[in-house]
Copies of this chain bind each other. A is one copy, B any other.
């Protein structure tokens, strides 16, 4: 969108704080976007009125450092790394309000986003994610343009660039929710668009709203994030979800992480090194029950068969190794929860579903509240 993907209202950021946004060598993206936009702007350098309003807002705000709960300006949602814990906390606060709005939607349909139009531009189908975003928009009174056929825009035969497609679609809508098969596509879209862009998954890259809903679920269910013990179970090598979650948990204090996974799909070194660097305690274990008995959160994931190619023997071995069933539930603490990003196969047995600690369907529902919160923050601000 405009000046940066994320900034406080008028806050002057210390270098340390800046790092928490980009938290990588991506900071040039977040800080140079406006320049780029101006350079090749389809509106011939004339800023859209909305940009102007935001720029103005940036100017008139008083200058103090960024504090928890303070108003902030969210402009695009591209990757989990762009959020620091204060921003996460602020988003979660809005998500809680969204729960209230959603619960009374039948008697008092919200008009918060009345007059706003969201384009769900899906270059590959993902029905679950799409319906969640579209429900979020409609629960707030907004409207939706939808396509699961977005490859049309860029078909090999016609060869249009993503940037050109975005420039067309931004003329029809107020916000773009994009799913793409290529890593980095969401960032390219955000750099092009003069309206907010939300990354709904870009190939092997990022799926930041999933990461947000996972952290939100832990806070919502356990009541805190500092000091929690989390067991990550299953496919830790390929699971985008658990990698993002580990990354975000490192922002909190006194977190302990247990990795429980078959040998072939162990958590990779980069995340382990990152956790060590951030002072997060972690250990690997082969004893699911022992880990489950200690943890606040047991986060199970699906072993992805497609990663094993012809080695179905390896898959079968890995797949059956760590199942969450009533026995595992039996050793878990009363306040603890079982999470899963869904879809599941049988890595959690169906008889676990009825237990109050089975949080995975509530977790899916939290995706709705997080997406409602993000749409609200991106379109009408705090």
Seen from chain A, the residues whose Cβ lies within 8 Å of a Cβ on chain B are 39-45, 49-50, 103, 105-109, 114-117, 119, 125-128, 130-132, 134-135, 138-139, 143, 145-150, 152-153, 157-160, 163-165, 167-169, 171-174, 302, 305-306, 342-345, 350-351, 353-356, 358, 361-362, 364-365, 368
Contact = CB atoms under 8 A, between A and B. Distances in A.
A45 B356 contact: yes
Given A42-B362, A128-B168, A358-B44, A117 B143 contact: no
B41 A164 contact: no
A128 to B, nearest CB: 6
A44 B352 CA distance: 10
Contacts of A103: 49
A127 B150 CA distance: 7
A169 B131 contact: yes
A40 B131 contact: no
A138 B158 CA distance: 28
A242 to B, nearest CB: 17
B117 A44 contact: no
A109 B119 contact: no
A106 B141 CA distance: 12
B160 A343 contact: yes
A174 B135 CA distance: 10
29 contacts: A40-B351, A40-B353, A40-B354, A42-B353, A42-B358, A42-B361, A42-B362, A43-B362, A45-B354, A45-B356, A49-B103, A50-B106, A105-B115, A106-B116, A106-B174, A107-B115, A127-B149, A127-B153, A128-B153, A130-B147, A131-B169, A135-B145, A135-B173, A138-B145, A159-B345, A160-B343, A163-B350, A164-B342, A168-B361
Contacts of A364: 167-168, 171
Contacts of A350: 40, 163
A132 B172 contact: yes
A119 B131 CA distance: 9
A343 B42 contact: no
A127 B106 contact: no
A40 B160 CA distance: 45
Contacts of A368: 171-172
A365 B138 contact: no
Residue among A50, A125, A146 with the most chain B CB within 10 A? Answer: A146
B153 A343 contact: yes
Nearest to A160: B343
A234 to B, nearest CB: 14
Contacts of A125: 149, 152
Contact of A344 (B109, B146, B164, B302): B164
A317 to B, nearest CB: 18
A23 to B, nearest CB: 30
A173 B127 CA distance: 14
Contact of A44 (B119, B342, B356): B356
Given A42-B362, A127-B150, 9 more contacts: A44-B355, A119-B131, A128-B153, A131-B145, A135-B145, A148-B149, A164-B344, A171-B364, A172-B368
